[in-house]
Structure 1
Amino acid sequence: MSISETWLLPDGVADVLPEQAQVIESLRRHSLDFLASRGYQLVYTPFIEYIESLSSLSEANQDLDLVSFKVIDQLSGRLLGVRADMTPQVARIDAHVRPIEGIARYCYSGTILHTKPQNFSESRTPLQLGAELYGHQSIEADVEMIDVMLGLLETTCGLEKAHLDLGHVGLFKSLVEHAKLDKNNEHLLHDLYQRKALPELEEVTKTLPYGQDFYNLGRYSGNLSLLEQHLSNDLLKDTHFQAAFDGLKTTVKEIQKRWPNLSIGLDVVELRSYHYHTGLMYAVYAPNHAAPLAQGGRYDGIGEHFGRARPATGFSCDLYALCEGQFSEIETIVAPKGMQPDLVSAIAQARQQGLSVVQLLGNDDLSSIPSATHQFVLQNGVWSIEKIESIAK
Structure 2
Amino acid sequence: MTSVDRWQLPDGVEEVLPAQAAVAERLRRQLLDMYRSWGYQLVIPPLVEFTESLLIGLGADLDLLTFKMTDQLSGRTLGVRADITPQVARIDAHSLGQSGVTRLCYAGSTLHTRPKTPAGSRSPIQLGAELYGDSSLAADVEIIRLMLATLETAGLDHITLDLGHVGVYGAVLAAAGLDDEQEQTVFDALQRKSLPDLEQALADADPRARELIVSLVDLNGDDSVLSAARELFAERAPDALAAIDALQDVATDIRRQRPGVAIYFDLAELRGYHYHTGIVFAAYVPGHGQALANGGRYNDVGGVFGRARPATGFATDLKALMALLPAEETGRGAISMPDIDDPALQDRVDALRAAGEVVINCLSAAPDPRCDRQLVERDGDWVVQPLNT
TM-score, length-scaled by structure 2: 0.91
Q: What is the match of residue 171 of structure 2?
A: 174
Q: Give the conservation status (yes or no) of the 8 Å contact 2:151–2:157.
A: no
The AA in structure 2 aligned to 1:28 is: R
Q: What is the match of residue 102 of structure 1?
A: 100
Q: What is the match of residue 375 of structure 1?
A: 374
Give the Å deviation of 1:201.
Answer: 4.1
CA deviations 1:200-238 (Å, max 9, x no partner) are 5457557335333222222233311122233342423x3
Q: Percent identity between the aligned chains?
A: 45
The AA in structure 2 aligned to 1:22 is: A
CA distance in 1 between counterparts of 2:120 and 2:373 reads: 37
The AA in structure 2 aligned to 1:252 is: A
Matches within 5 A, 1:120-131: 120-131=118-129
CA distance in 1 between counterparts of 2:245 and 2:308 reads: 25
Q: What is the match of residue 32 of structure 2?
A: 32
Q: What is the match of residue 197 of structure 1?
A: 194
Matches within 5 A, 1:149-228: 149-155=147-153, 157-198=154-195, 201=198, 207-208=205-206, 209-222=208-221, 223-228=225-230
CA distance in 1 between counterparts of 2:200 and 2:46 reads: 49
Q: What is the match of residue 293 of structure 1?
A: 292
Query: Which range moved further: 124-133 or 203-212?
Result: 203-212
Give the Å deviation of 1:103.
Answer: 1.1
Give the Å deviation of 1:175.
Answer: 1.7
Q: What is the match of residue 261 of structure 1?
A: 260
Matches within 5 A, 1:44-59: 44-57=44-57
Where 1:39 maps in the other structure, the secondary structure is coil
Q: Give the conservation status (yes or no) of the 8 Å contact 2:182–2:201.
A: no
CA distance in 2 between counterparts of 1:203 and 1:47 reads: 43
CA distance in 2 between counterparts of 1:182 and 1:69 reads: 33
Q: What is the match of residue 250 of structure 1?
A: 249
Q: What is the match of residue 322 of structure 2?
A: 323
Where 1:235 maps in the other structure, the secondary structure is coil
Q: Give the conservation status (yes or no) of the 8 Å contact 1:213–1:232.
A: no
CA distance in 1 between counterparts of 2:201 and 2:324 reads: 45
Q: What is the match of residue 309 of structure 2?
A: 310
Query: Which range moved further: 254-263 or 209-218?
Result: 209-218
Q: Does structure 1 residue 118 correspond to structure 2 residue 116?
A: yes
CA distance in 1 between counterparts of 2:289 and 2:52 reads: 33
CA distance in 2 between counterparts of 1:389 and 1:300 reads: 64
Where 2:7 maps in the other structure, the secondary structure is coil
CA distance in 1 between counterparts of 2:196 and 2:293 reads: 31
Q: Give the conservation status (yes or no) of the 8 Å contact 1:277–1:297.
A: yes
Give the Å deviation of 1:73.
Answer: 0.6
Q: What is the match of residue 366 of structure 2?
A: 365
Q: Give the conservation status (yes or no) of the 8 Å contact 2:193–2:217.
A: yes
The AA in structure 2 aligned to 1:197 is: S
Q: Give the conservation status (yes or no) of the 8 Å contact 2:220–2:264.
A: no
CA distance in 2 between counterparts of 1:229 and 1:356 reads: 64
The AA in structure 1 aligned to 2:315 is: S
Query: Which range moved further: 85-94 or 380-389?
Result: 380-389
CA distance in 1 between counterparts of 2:384 and 2:234 reads: 75
Query: Which range moved further: 195-204 or 158-167?
Result: 195-204
Give the Å deviation of 1:371.
Answer: 2.6
The AA in structure 2 aligned to 1:16 is: V
Q: Give the conservation status (yes or no) of the 8 Å contact 1:103–1:133.
A: yes
CA distance in 1 between counterparts of 2:15 and 2:365 reads: 28
CA deviations 1:39-68 (Å, max 9, x no partner) are 1111111111111011112xx511100010
Q: Any gaps of 5 or more consecutive residues in structure 2?
A: none
Give the Å deviation of 1:91.
Answer: 1.0
Where 1:184 maps in the other structure, the secondary structure is helix
CA deviations 1:59-102 (Å, max 9, x no partner) are x5111000101011111111111111111111111111111111
One of 137, 140, 147 as aligned partner of 2:138 = 140
Q: Give the conservation status (yes or no) of the 8 Å contact 2:141–2:253.
A: yes
Q: Give the conservation status (yes or no) of the 8 Å contact 1:216–1:231.
A: no
CA distance in 1 between counterparts of 2:386 and 2:289 reads: 41
One of 331, 334, 337 as aligned partner of 2:336 = 334
Query: Which range moved further: 339-348 or 264-273?
Result: 339-348
Q: 1:311 to 1:321 in 2, by over 3 A?
A: same
The AA in structure 1 aligned to 2:309 is: R
Give the Å deviation of 1:170.
Answer: 0.9
Q: Give the conservation status (yes or no) of the 8 Å contact 1:221–1:227.
A: no
Q: What is the match of residue 232 of structure 2?
A: 230
CA deviations 1:25-47 (Å, max 9, x no partner) are 01111111100111111111111
Give the Å deviation of 1:288.
Answer: 1.7
CA distance in 1 between counterparts of 2:361 and 2:196 reads: 70
